Copies of this chain bind each other. A is one copy, B any other.
Amino acid sequence: MKVLVVEDERRLGEFLKQGLVECRYTATLVRTCKEASDALAETPFDVIVLDLSLPDGDGLNLLRQWRESGFNEPVLILSARDSLEDRLKGLDLGADDYLPKPFSMEELLARIRSLARRQSTVKLTVLEHAGIRLDLVGRTVHVNGKPVDLTSREYALLEIFMQNHGRILPRTLITDKIWASSYDVDTNLLDVYMSRLRAKLETNGKALFKTVRGVGYQLI
């Protein structure tokens, strides 16, 4: 999780950076508008903490510039100006949050967590749905608490479904992911593997995978 801190006052900047690092964020500290834009152009960040008063320009202008050129990273504004108008202006220019000084480190961290959570579509290590538990790290699968042995192909297939449950996945989309590009369209490998997955997972009789004729399959 990478955070960019744009803050010209050295002591506050270092304090923020240290607090972030302690919470296992990767924090980058810059002091000017120019440095900030350069850093942003170079690598993507998950959250940006932006102070408004900067030596070479106004933070609000910088923000407007970013939004106009398509940067959509979540921005949290940090400011000593706490009039209502300032807050409104910041939010309408594309800020995602506005924290008036003075603030507690705890609250800043909570708000960063809130912003980051939304952004990252939550990189979970365990997928769970419809009684199926799939551990991405351990590569294990449990159905209703009981372990199930899957071969690597079967596992890859299930993972695609678990990460897209509810959606109807076209056959070509699935085969592209599992058999790379060298997939012969005339073969019925996918049918065979769907049959096996069903046999191993649908133990209690009720269907987990729905067939959509002419299109593909759906994990309900």
Residues of A bordering B, CB below 8 Å: 72, 74, 84, 87-88, 91-92, 94-97, 104, 106-107, 110-111, 113-114, 117-118, 121, 135, 137-140, 149, 151-152, 164, 166-168, 170, 210, 212-215, 218
Query: Does the CB pair B84–A152 fall under 8 Å?
Result: no
> Which residues of chain B come closer than 8 Å to A213, judged between CB atoms?
151-152
Contacting pair B152 A167 (CB below 8 A): no
Say yes or no: B107 contacts A94, CB within 8 Å: no
- CB neighbours (8 Å) of A92 from chain B are 110, 113-114
Q: How far is the CA of A91 from the CA of B118 in the complex (A)?
A: 11
The smallest C-beta distance from A172 to any residue of chain B, in angstroms, reads 13
Give chain B residues whose Cβ lies under 8 Å from the Cβ of A151: 213-214
A212: chain B residues within 8 A (beta carbon): 139, 149, 152
Q: Which B residues touch A166, using CB under 8 A?
A: 138, 140
On whether the beta carbons of A139 and B167 are closer than 8 Å, the reply is yes
A174–chain B nearest beta-carbon distance, Å: 13
What's the nearest-Cβ distance from chain B to residue A82, in Å? 11
A118, closest chain B residue (CB): B96
B167 & A140 in contact (Cβ 8 Å cutoff): yes
User: Is the pair A88, B106 in contact by a Cβ cutoff of 8 Å?
Assistant: yes
Select one of B94, B110, B114, B121 contacting A117, CB under 8 A: B94
A/B interface sample: 20 pairs, CB < 8 A: A72-B118, A84-B107, A88-B110, A91-B111, A91-B113, A91-B114, A92-B113, A96-B114, A96-B118, A97-B97, A97-B114, A135-B167, A138-B166, A138-B168, A140-B166, A140-B168, A140-B218, A149-B212, A151-B213, A152-B214
